[in-house]
Amino acid sequence: MRTASGLTWSISVLAVVAIVGVTSLTGQTPATGPVFTAQQAEAGKQHYDTTCSPCHGSDLGGADAPALAGPDFAKAWGTQTTADLFKYAQGMPPGGTPLPDDDNLAVVAYLLQQNGAAAGATPLLPTTAVKISGIATGKRPPMAMAVAHRR
């Protein structure tokens, strides 16, 4: 009896290990998956160009305000989450009226895209809290991708 239950126990341990292994292989951990859609990034570009670019530069390279793409952005935001960035953006422009949440999420999606994060099927939400260095490669997308063409 002892050996039988010992065997059963070993089999269950093996099963658990197998399930955990398969889960990580199939990438069901959403921690680094795409967290915004291309539509959000595209809408975000429009809002960015109108509301943010006067201070942060039309190429996000910074002007009267810090750069929002490239190494400076990675340094300032890499260890923080997408939710942190969204909350911070709600305080922008300084002393001005923040964008409505949906537009603000779109701008955050655009910033992530411009820092190399890939778009996918899941829309960015205020509650999406993924570490930015986990999705942003730091590589700006080529211009053709930066401006998603949709008419």
Residue with tokens 């701008």: 107
| By CB under 6 A, residue 134 contacts ligand HEC | no
Closest by CA position to 113, among listed 80, 88, 148? 148
The residue within the footprint of ligand HEC, chosen from 35, 68, 112, 119 (CB under 6 A), is 68
Q: What is the DSSP letter of 97?
A: P
Q: For 27, left (φ over 0), alpha (ψ -120 to 50), or beta?
A: left
Closest to ligand HEC by CB, 112 vs 119, is 112
Contact call for residues 135 and 112 (beta carbons, < 8 A): yes
In whole angstroms, the minimum distance from the beta carbon of 18 to ligand HEC comes to 43
In the window 90-119, what residues touch ligand HEC (CB under 6 A)?
A: 92-94, 99, 107
Q: Which amino acid is at 11?
A: I
In the window 33-52, what residues touch ligand HEC (CB under 6 A)?
A: 51-52
Closest to ligand HEC by CB, 37 vs 80, is 80
Contact call for residues 150 and 45 (beta carbons, < 8 A): no
Rounded Cα–Cα distance for residues 116 and 139 (Å): 5
Closest to ligand HEC by CB, 26 vs 97, is 97
In whole angstroms, the minimum distance from the beta carbon of 47 to ligand HEC comes to 7
* Exposed/middle/buried for residue 91 (C-beta within 10 Å: 0-12, 13-18, 19+): exposed
In whole angstroms, the minimum distance from the beta carbon of 113 to ligand HEC comes to 13
Binding residues (CB under 6 A) for ligand HEC: these are: 51-52, 54-56, 65-66, 68, 72, 76, 88-89, 92-94, 99, 107
